[in-house]
Structures are given as C-alpha cells and as structure tokens.
Amino acid sequence: MTLTATLLPGLSKRRYGSMFSTVGWAAVVVALTVVLLSVLAPFIAPYDPNYVDLENVLSGPSLAHWLGTDAMGRDLLSRLMFGGRTSLVGPLIVVVASTIFGLLLGLAAGWSDGWISALLSRIFDLVFAFPALLLSMLAIALFGKGLVAPIIAMTISYIPYVARLTQQLVISERSRPYVQAYRVLGFRTSWVVLGRVLPNLVPTVGAQSTLNFGYVLADLAALSFIGLGIQPPTSDWGAMIEEARGALLSGSLMPALLPALVVVLIVVSINVIGEELSDRIGGNLS
C-alpha cells in the first residue's frame, strides 16, 4: 500500500496493461517537466539567472517576470530553471554511483558465505548508523564547501541502501532452481552472478534508487540551505531558499516559497514513481 493509494484510492489504481496509475502518470509528467525545463534552461530561460536588476527588486509576478524577482532583482523563473541544473545533477551522480557500488558490494555480500559476507554486512550497518547529512557535513569540514565533498559523502551513505537490498535479493535468488540449474550445467559462478542474476535484480534495485533520488535531492538542498553546499551566486534551489530568508521577513513570500515548492514537487513525484515501480515489480516477481 503506497501513500498515494491511501490518500487517493480512486486515482491510484493501475489499469490493466498500464505502467502507472493516474497519480503515477501525473508524477511522471511533473518530473519530466522539471527535468526538461532545467536541461533546456540556457535556451529557454527568459533572463540570465545572475543578472542583477536593482530597480526591480522583489517585484511580484508580471508579464516581464512571470514569477517575479528576488531581493537582487534576479528573475525567479530563470533562477529556478538554472537552479534545477545544479540541484538535479548532484542527486543524479549520487544515485548512479551508489547504485553501481551498492550492486557490486551487495552481490559480493549475498553470494559469498562466511567472513566476507559478515564483514560487508557489519560495514553496511556501520554506515547506516551515520545520517547522510552528518557524514556530508563531516566531509565538508574536512574538504571544504562545494558540491564534490557532499556528493562523495552522500554516495557512501546511500551505498548500504542499495547493497542491503541487493544482498537480500541475491540470497533469495541463489536458492532458486533456475540458478541451481546454471550451477549443475557447469556455468562459472562469475558468469551466473554477473550475466544472469544481476540483470534480474536491476528492476527492483532501480526502483529503490529512484526513491533514493528524492531523498538525496532533499538532503543536498538542505546542505545548500545551511550554506554548506552550492555557493552563491550559482543558483540552486536550497541556496535560493536560504538567500530569500531576508525577503521572507520583509513580507515577500515568492522567492522562498517557489524553490521550496519545486523541491517538494520533484521529491513527491520521484517518490510516487519509485513506489509505483517497486509495487509493480514486487507484484511481477512474486
């Protein structure tokens, strides 16, 4: 039972043969729109995101500035679009890297018996014990602000999520008759694991990674918000919220609300997609 199924029972039923429910398709549309707007920002953004126009500070939505301007007169729509580029690239790198390493470590932990499996499992436990944000701040303290240190730290923190899942899947998969048939047929273990078992896990692990994307995005935005992530003037959703705190106090909602809204929208969309994917795969596998 997913969250959306509880909140919107009618719209979250998947029709036979359809990939997603109505809610799921809406999430896909939202996510794709955000991604496209960010990717195409240099071509379609109405303004330079860093162009300061002090005669036009904190203006509300108008024909010239569809979503208004911030405290330095920068166009909010353009900043949001460009902000997506940094805000989405970070999670993407983290998710891809943690998925690759998580899969490999999970396979090793699931397939081996004895001390390798035990050692890897304890390491996963250890990393699980550190919140991703805390680890990132530690990395920033050591290596300095910016995107590189938190991305590495986040990758390390998210590896166990993928690895633990992979490990469990591998353990159940290796006792299945089809895997045993490969063994009896004399195929090499490495061929069976990498060539046959691994591809069967990809959909399930992919669904988990999709969910992770949302969490990482929120975490990185939080880092930028507290000033440890992306540094001004580069636009980033988390950093935009932080910069808009002053404006918030003087009564202008938009500069802080808009990036927050985008973060919420994208995280919710990604979570819905991830949940529906894993539901679908869970249903197909069992």
Partner 1 sequence: MSKLLEIEQFSMAFPGRGNLLSDVSLHVDDGEAVALVGESGSGKSLTTRAALGLFPETSRLSGSVKVSGLDTTTASGTKLLELRRNRASMIFQDPRAGINPVRTVGDFVTETLVRWRGLSRQEAEAQAVAQLEQVGLRRAKEMMRQYPHQLSGGMLQRVMIAAALLDSPELLLCDEPTTALDVTTQAGIVTLLREQQQARGMGMLFITHDLNLAGSLCDRVYVLRKGEVVEHGGSRQVFTSPQADYTRQLIAATPSIDIDKVPAVPVQDDQSPLLRVEGLCRRYTLPGGEILNALNNASFTLAKGGSLGVVGESGSGKSTLARMIVALETPDAGELEVSGRPRAHRALKAGERKLLAKDVQIVFQDPYLSLDPRIPVGKAVADVFRLHQGQTRSAALQSARELLDRVGIGPERFESKPRALSGGQRQRVAIAKALAARPKLLVLDEATSALDVSVQAQVLELVEELRDQLGLTILFVTHDLAVVSRLCSELLVLRDGVIVEQGSTAQILGAPASEYTRTLINSRPQLLWQDQPV
Which region, judged by CB under 8 A, interacts with partner 1, from 87-95, 149-157, 187-195, 257-265?
187-195
Burial of 25 (0-12, 13-18, 19+ CB in 10 A): middle
Report in angstroms how near the CB of residue 177 gets to partner 1 at its nearest. 4
**Smallest distance, partner 1 to C-beta of residue 286, A:** 12
**Does 16 contact partner 1 by CB under 8 A?**
yes
Near partner 1 by CB under 8 A: residue from 54, 63, 184, 249: 184
Instruction: Please say which residue, 1 or 185, places its beta carbon nearer to partner 1.
Output: 185
Cβ-based neighbour number of residue 59 at 10 Å:
18
- The amino acid that residue 2 corresponds to is T
Q: Does residue number 200 form part of the binding site for partner 1 (CB under 8 A)?
A: yes
Contacts of 276-285 with CB under 8 Å at 24 or more apart are 276/2, 276/14, 276/20, 276/21, 276/24, 276/27, 277/203, 277/206, 277/207, 277/210, 278/204, 278/207, 278/208, 278/211, 279/2, 280/14, 280/19, 281/203, 281/204, 281/207, 282/204, 285/204
Task: Count Cα neighbours of 41 within 13 Å in the Cβ-side half-sphere.
Answer: 21
Nearest to 229 by CA among 96, 30, 89: 89
Stretch that binds partner 1, among 35-43, 178-186, 222-230, 274-282 (CB under 8 A): 178-186
- Of positions 177, 249, 251, 283, contacts partner 1 by CB under 8 A: 177
Minimum distance of partner 1 from residue 200's CB (angstroms): 6
Query: Residue 184 burial (CB < 10 Å; 0-12/13-18/19+)?
Result: exposed
Stretch that binds partner 1, among 134-142, 143-151, 185-193, 212-220 (CB under 8 A): 185-193
Told to check if 188 binds partner 1 by CB under 8 A, we report yes
Minimum separation from the CB atom of position 206 to partner 1 (A): 14
* Sites for partner 1 among residues 110-129 (CB under 8 A): none
User: What residue type is assigned to position 235 of the chain?
Assistant: S
CB 190, min distance to partner 1, A: 9
Specify which residues 75 forms β-bridges with: 69
Give the nearest distance from C-beta 171 to partner 1 in angstroms: 16
Residue corresponding to tokens 């692990």: 205
Residue 10 or 251: the one with the smaller Cβ distance to partner 1 is: 10
Q: Which is nearer to partner 1, 142 or 184 (CB)?
A: 184
Runs of H (alpha helix) within the chain: 3-7, 22-39, 41-44, 76-111, 115-129, 132-143, 148-174, 177-184, 189-190, 198-225, 237-243, 245-249, 254-285
Q: Is 183 in the site for partner 1 (CB under 8 A)?
A: yes
Does residue number 181 form part of the binding site for partner 1 (CB under 8 A)? yes
Query: Is 178 near partner 1 (CB under 8 A)?
Result: yes
Token pair of 30 as six digits: 């939202």
182 in contact with partner 1 (CB under 8 A):
yes
- Does 196 engage in binding with partner 1 (CB under 8 A)? yes
Binding residues (CB under 8 A) for partner 1: these are: 16, 176-178, 180-189, 196, 199-200
